[in-house]
Homo-oligomer: A and B are copies of this chain.
C-alpha cells in the first residue's frame, strides 16, 4: 500500500509516474517535529536506501543531505554524493515500511547520528510530497516503489560488455591502441569511452579534428570489431561565439539566467560556460537534439558528466578571491586565521559553492525559480533531455546512456556510474554496498569505476575489484589522468586471471542479462541484501558484504587486501562454486551457517541457491559473438528432480522489450 501526502506547494519533480490520490489524516509510523519527522529505532532496526551515499548497506549511524555534489573524496565523513535518491526502507521489528520524500532541493536525514535510537528528516522548504509504503516485506515494498516511479532504463545488450575508459586518451591512436592491446592479449571488449579530450576545446558536440580526424571512420572500424565508442557530454556549454551549441542556446534564451536576466556563467573544463535550463521541456528537446551531431557519426552511447552541475568557480567569485589575495599581499604579517580562511579556504571554497548555486534561475512553468531550490533535478534532467530525444529520434533503438548526477525519475532515461571513486579497498566495499542501494531507487544499470578512478591502483586490487565488477550491469574500468595506467593489459602477472575473469563475465551474460531484464520489466531486483529474502533471519540482517543477485545467485566478494578467503554466511544450504574460470571450478554443497572459505587471488566465490538454475554460455570476445543457444546449466537441486529457468533472449538492440517471444523456459 502506498499513501501519498502533500505539504505546502510542492514544485513538480517528475520523479513519480503513477498518480496516486492524496491522503488526509496523520502520517503512519512518523511523528511530526517542528522541522520535519521523527521515528524511534529499536537496537536491531535497519535502514536501507538513499541510493548513492556514503557508509554501509545499513545507513544507520550517520547523517546525510540529499544535495547533488561533485564530491571527489569518497570518505566516510561526507554527507552528499552525486545523486538525490530520497527513498528509505526501514525494518524495525514488525514494522517494515518505505518513505519517499519527493522534493527537488536539499533533504536532511539524521539516521541515528545525533541519537543512535532516533531517525529524523526534513526538507529545506515546507513544500514537498511524502509517500509512505507499507503492508509488505522488503522485496514487496521495493517492487511497489519501483512501480510508483516507473520502468527503469534498459540499455542495449552490448552495454553489458566491458568498457575501457580513461581520462587521458587524447588521440585516435590512443583509442586504437586500447582496442589493439585487448585483442593482442585475448581480453574481451565492447566499449571504449572517450573522456573530455576528444572534444574541441571541451565544447559539447564537437570533435577535435586534429586528434580525431575522422571519428566516423574510427567508430565504423571499431564497430566492425565489436567495439563501440562512448563519448562524454558535459553539462557546461563552452562560451564561444563560434560554437553552434553556444550560439543557438543564446539566441533561443535556453541558458539559466542570473537575477538580472543575463545568462549565468561559471568555469568548468572549457573555461567559462553556460548551463542549459534542462527543467524546460523545449530546452531538453533542443539539447537532446544536439546529440545527433555524434549519433550521425555512428555513436550509439554517451555518458553525461559534470551535471550536478559542477562549478569550478564563477568569474565574480574568482575576482573577489584574487582581490583578497591582493590585499593580503600588502600586509606585513599574515595571521594563521587569515592564511587558512582566506588563502587555503578561499581557494578551495571557489569550487561548487552554495553561493553560486543560489545565484541563477530556472524557468518552471513560466515561473523563475532559484537554482538551489531545484538543484537536485538538474543532472537527471540532462539525462532526461538525451533520453527523450533518443526515444523520439530512434524509437525502436536502444541507446546507451549513463550519468554522474541523477535524481529518482531519471532512472527511466539512463543509468548511472557511482561517481569519481578512488583506487582503494574501501571503495571496492563501497561499490558492493552501494549497488543494491541505487538499484532499489530504480538505477538498475549501474556500476563503479573498476580499479578506482583517482589515486593509483594495484595489481591485486584490479583483479579483486574485477571479480566483483564482473557481476555489475555497467562494467567499466575508468581512471583519472595522472594516475597509474590501469587498462587490464597493464598487469602482466595478473593477465591470465584477468582474462579468465573477463571471460567469466561474458559466459554469465545469459543469466545476468535475463535477471536484469526481469528486474527492469517486472520491477524486480538484480542485487539485493540477504535480509530481503530472509527477513526472519537475524544473521542475514547483519550481512553487509554479500549480495543476492537475481533469483539464483549469491555473491560473496573479497574486498580485503591480502585475504586468501573470507567468512561467508549462508541463510540456507547452497552450492558453492569457487571459480578460476567458467569451466575450472570447485563445487561443494554447504549447509546453512557461517563458513570460512578459501578464495585465492585468481578465484571468485559464487553460490547457487537451492532449486535455481544459472545458464552459462561459452566465453566470447564481445557481446556480438556471444552464443546463447549453447548453454551449460549450473544448478543446485537438493531434491534431485528438475527446475526451470525463465531466460530472456532478444537481439539486444530494439525496444520491443515486452514481446513475449523473448522469454524461453529452460529446464534442467
Residue ranges of A at the interface with B (Cβ–Cβ < 8 Å)? 43-44, 46, 55-56, 58, 60-62, 73, 75-77, 112-113, 115-117, 267-272, 312-313, 318-319, 321-323, 325-326, 328-329, 333-336, 339, 343-344, 346-348, 350-351, 422-426, 454-456, 458-461, 493-494, 539, 542, 544, 560-565, 567, 569, 594, 596, 600-601
Contacts and interface: CB of A to CB of B under 8 A. Distances in A.
Contacts of A601: 43, 116
B562 A60 contact: yes
A666 B260 CA distance: 84
A77 B329 CA distance: 35
A567 B594 contact: yes
A593 to B, nearest CB: 8
Contacts of A43: 564, 600-601
Nearest to A117: B493
Contacts of A344: 347-348, 350-351
Contacts of A456: 77, 113
Contacts of A112: 458-460
20 contacts: A46-B562, A56-B562, A61-B561, A62-B561, A77-B422, A112-B460, A115-B493, A116-B458, A116-B494, A116-B601, A268-B336, A271-B336, A272-B333, A312-B336, A319-B329, A325-B325, A347-B348, A542-B564, A542-B565, A567-B567
B336 A458 contact: no
Contact of A426 (B62, B76, B493, B494): B76
Q: Which of A46, A318, A601 has the most CB of B within 10 A?
A: A318
B564 A544 contact: no
A53 to B, nearest CB: 13
B267 A339 contact: yes
Given A318-B343, A325-B329, A544-B562, 12 more contacts: A43-B564, A46-B562, A56-B562, A61-B562, A77-B423, A77-B456, A113-B456, A267-B339, A319-B329, A322-B326, A343-B347, A542-B564
B271 A333 contact: yes
B271 A77 contact: no
Contacts of A339: 267, 312-313, 318
Contacts of A321: 325, 343
Contacts of A336: 267-271, 312
B596 A596 contact: no
Given A271-B335, A426-B426, A61 B460 contact: yes
- Of the candidates A76, A424, A494, the one having the most CB atoms from chain B within 10 angstroms of its own CB is A76
Contacts of A454: 77
B347 A318 contact: no
Nearest to A600: B43
A612 to B, nearest CB: 25
Nearest to A593: B596
Nearest to A45: B562
Q: When A and B form their complex, which 6 residue pairs have the shortest distance between CB atoms, in order from nearest? A: A347-B347, A77-B455, A76-B424, A325-B325, A322-B329, A567-B567
**Most chain B beta-carbon neighbours within 10 Å: one of A271, A328, A422, A565:** A271
Contacts of A60: 561-562
B75 A424 contact: yes
A351 B565 CA distance: 42
A267 B338 CA distance: 12
A466 to B, nearest CB: 14
A613 B323 CA distance: 69
Contacts of A267: 334, 336, 339
A19 B55 CA distance: 51
Nearest to A350: B343
Contact of A58 (B76, B343, B562): B562
Contacts of A425: 76
Contacts of A560: 56, 544
A115 B412 CA distance: 43
Contacts of A596: 539, 567, 569, 594
B318 A334 contact: yes
B325 A77 contact: no
Contacts of A600: 43
A493 B112 CA distance: 11
A147 B251 CA distance: 80
A61 B458 contact: yes
A594 B328 CA distance: 62
B424 A77 contact: yes
Contact of A459 (B44, B115, B561, B564): B115
Contacts of A328: 322
Contact of A326 (B44, B113, B329): B329
Contacts of A426: 76, 426
A489 to B, nearest CB: 15
